[in-house]
């Protein structure tokens, strides 16, 4: 398909914007808010396999690693709402030939949840993954007890591909991890419906 410069410019102008959020380059000052959210037990529970979190230096190093954007195999962006407020983060990583599979992760600050930011961040990340990075599949992992996230991902077209049984231990019990994925053709069908 041959496109003219104007249509590509229009596409590029909207690449980092979706609904309620705009993706922007990560700023080191974002680490303070991300660290605050990461230390919030309700956020930690949904993001990681252990509740104790690292010290400030460890968290800062982790967030900086998510956002290097120095390779075609990964990217990370801060989420900004219409008021210019930092509301979360989205990242894709692990893209390597020949499989071209990206892993997706998103975090929205507790005070910003319920406003559609997570959904819009995922849609923007999918657009970047499939339309700019050339991936064939985007996959993610979500704890079985995180029904809100599982419903969101399913509503966008992610398919449950498997379950890692007893993959995390919380509150004296083991819980499953659900593996979900979306193929390029599934994305294109979803994008055409939108």
Sign, CA torsion 23/114/170/32:
positive
CA atoms within 13 A on the CB side of 9: 3
93: CB partners within 8 A, 6+ apart: 66, 73, 74, 75, 76, 102, 103, 105
Per DSSP, the residues of 139-176 read: EEEEETT-HHHHHHHHHHT-EEEEEEEEEEEETTEEEE
Overall pTM > 0.85? yes
For 17-71, the pLDDT digits (tens) are: 999 999 999 998 999 999 888 888 888 788 777 766 677 788 888 888 888 888 8
Q: What's the mean pLDDT when you consider all of the chain? A: 91
The CA-CA-CA angle for residues 23, 95, 9, to 5°, reads 45
pLDDT computed for residue 24 by the predictor: 94
3-state secondary structure of 184: helix
The architecture (CATH level 2) of 5-193 comes to 3-Layer(aba) Sandwich (3.40)
Residues of the chain with pLDDT under 70: 1-2, 51-53
Among residues of the chain, what percentage have pLDDT more than 90? Answer: 67
């Amino acid at each position: 398909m041959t496109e003219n410069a104007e249509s590509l410019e229009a596409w590029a102008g909207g690449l980092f914007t979706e609904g309620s959020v705009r993706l922007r380059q990560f700023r080191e000052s974002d680490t303070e808010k991300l660290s605050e959210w990461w230390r919030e037990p309700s956020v930690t529970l949904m993001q990681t396999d252990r509740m104790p979190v690292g010290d400030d230096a460890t968290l800062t190093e982790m967030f900086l690693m998510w956002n290097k954007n120095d390779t075609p195999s990964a990217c990370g962006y801060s989420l900004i709402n219409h008021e210019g407020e930092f509301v979360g983060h989205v990242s894709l990583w692990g893209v390597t030939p020949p499989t071209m599979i990206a892993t997706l992760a998103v975090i929205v600050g507790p005070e910003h949840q319920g406003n559609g930011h997570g959904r819009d961040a995922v849609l923007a990340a999918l657009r970047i993954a499939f339309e700019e990075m050339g991936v064939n599949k985007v996959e993610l992992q979500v704890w079985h007890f995180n029904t809100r996230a599982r419903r969101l991902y399913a509503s966008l077209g992610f398919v449950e591909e498997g379950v890692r049984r007893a993959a995390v231990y919380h509150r004296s019990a083991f819980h499953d991890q659900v593996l979900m994925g979306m193929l390029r053709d599934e994305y294109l069908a979803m994008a055409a419906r939108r």
